[in-house]
Amino acid sequence: MDFTIETYKKLLGILQNKGFVFQSFVGFIQKPGKKVIILRHDVDKLPENSLTIARLESSLGVRGSYYFRSVPSGHNEEIIRNVAELGHEVGYHYEDVSLEAERQKTKVKRQKYKNQMVSDLQDRKTARPQDNFCLCAVTPLRLLDNNWHNI
């Protein structure tokens, strides 16, 4: 497969020519279109690459949803602001429970981290645009997942 910017640009153009509409995740939930594509970008590493993609999408009139982790490899406040200013949806890629469990090498109390995440989201909203959040995927190697069931 050719995973280059030029190929991605061609793909977006083909999809637009076929009548697809690009909506953000929240935009789709609020007012779903008929022939829709939701572009979700999880930014785990190299946020500068995400800014390149965000600029390309914006230049084509395409809106995506970008979820940034709070770890150093995927977090850059200036880039996050730039992505939001380009008109893209920005979200928090939440994984605090599993990261803390890995640090402590034991299970942690979920309610504490649920409360902390809600507080963090409020702080982040004042620091930069924040449309929503998503839970980071669960891996078999994690001591505890990020879900809130059975709290």
- One-character DSSP codes across 63-83: --EEEE-SSGGG--HHHHHHH
Q: Structure pTM?
A: 0.72
- For the segment 29-54, what is each residue's pLDDT rounded down to a tens digit? 899 999 999 999 988 888 899 999 99
Q: What residue has token string 């924040």? A: 130
Residue-range domains of the chain with CATH: 5-135 (3.40.50)
- For the segment 56-100, what is each residue's pLDDT rounded down to a tens digit? 999 999 999 998 877 777 778 899 889 999 999 988 766 655 555
In sequence order, the 6+-apart residues with CB closer than 8 A to the CB of 79 are: 47, 48, 50, 51
